[in-house]
Each structure stands twice: as structure tokens, then as C-alpha cells.
Amino acid sequence: MAHYFEIKKNKGGEFVAYFKYNKESIFWTEGYSSKASAQKAIESIQKNGPAAPVRDES
């Protein structure tokens, strides 16, 4: 699978959810104090992301 989410701890000890494509980070969340919060962020992206409109402000 080329696309996947990954949860890692940052240097500050917070949990961050990364969305990756072929091991390259495409975007990431803010840092969370618990792994459960990072998992909830992933679930929110999966639920709400596909229906989100695209805003082109170029």
C-alpha cells in the first residue's frame, strides 16, 4: 500500500499523525498529548476528508 497513516512521537514527546505516500510525509497533524487523540485525528480525516471541498485561492 503506497498511502498510509503513521503515528510517531515528536521531539517534544507529543504524538503526531502523519499521512505518507511511499514513505514521504504529505501532511501531518498538530502534536497531541495522547496516542488516542492522534488516532481520533486520523479517524476524523478519514471520515470528513473525502467530502471536503477544495478551495483554490490562487
Enumerate the domain spans of the chain. Answer: 3-50
Residue 18 near residue 32 (C-beta atoms within 8 A): no
Q: For the segment 24-54, what is each residue's pLDDT rounded down to a tens digit? A: 999 999 999 999 999 999 999 999 999 999 9
CATH topology for 3-50 is Double Stranded RNA Binding Domain (3.30.160)
Provide the 3-class DSSP secondary structure of residue 7: strand
Provide the 3-class DSSP secondary structure of residue 24: strand
Output the pLDDT for position 10: 97
> What confidence tier does 20 reach under pLDDT thresholds 50, 70, 90?
very high
